[in-house]
Amino acid sequence: MPRRRPGRNRAGAAGGHRTTGARPVIDGLSPRALSEIIGLERTRNYLRPGDVSAAVALWKDYVHQPERALWHDYEWGNVHWDCCGDPLEARALLDTVMQAVSPRSARELRKIVSRSDSAGGARSREPT
C-alpha cells in the first residue's frame, strides 16, 4: 500500500488548519500592533474578533458627519445607534484598548484615533 504524504495527513486531521476569524484592518498600524490587537480580541471577554477595527471605522465615520448631525445626536440621541453601534461607546472601547496594549502599539493607535478626533475638531467634544 502506498504511503500518504505528510501534508495530506495534516490537511485531513481535525484542527489541522485553524482560521483566525475576522482580521482587523486598520490603516496605519504596524503588523506588530495588529498582532497585539488580535491577541487582545482573542483573550478578553469584552472583545470579539474585529471589534477594534469596527470601533475605529465607526468613530471615523461619526466624526466626519456634518456639525448639525452631531449636535442633534448630542441633544436628542440617535435611535439608529441600537442597530448600527454607538460611536461614543466605540471611542471608549478604543481608549480601553490603548491602555491594554504595549506603549508602542498604543502610540500607533492613538495617532490614528487622534487624526479622527482632530478631523471632527471641536465637533467631537461636548459643547460647553
Could you state, in order of their start, the residue ranges of all structural domains in the chain? Answer: 25-120
Sorting pLDDT into bands at 50, 70 and 90, what band is 35?
A: very high
pLDDT at 85: 77
Cα distance between residue 64 and residue 124, in whole Å:
9
Encoded amino acid at 80, one letter: H
Rounded distance between C-alpha atoms, residue 96 and residue 98, angstroms = 5
> What's the pLDDT tens digit per position in 49-108?
999 999 999 888 888 877 655 555 555 555 555 567 788 889 999 999 999 999 999 999
Transcribe 37-76 into DSSP letters: HHHHHHH-TT--TTHHHHHHHHHHHHHTS-HHHHHHHHHH
Rounded CA-CA distance 66/62 in Å is 9
pTM of the model: 0.67
Q: How far is residue 38 CA from its own chain's centroid?
A: 10
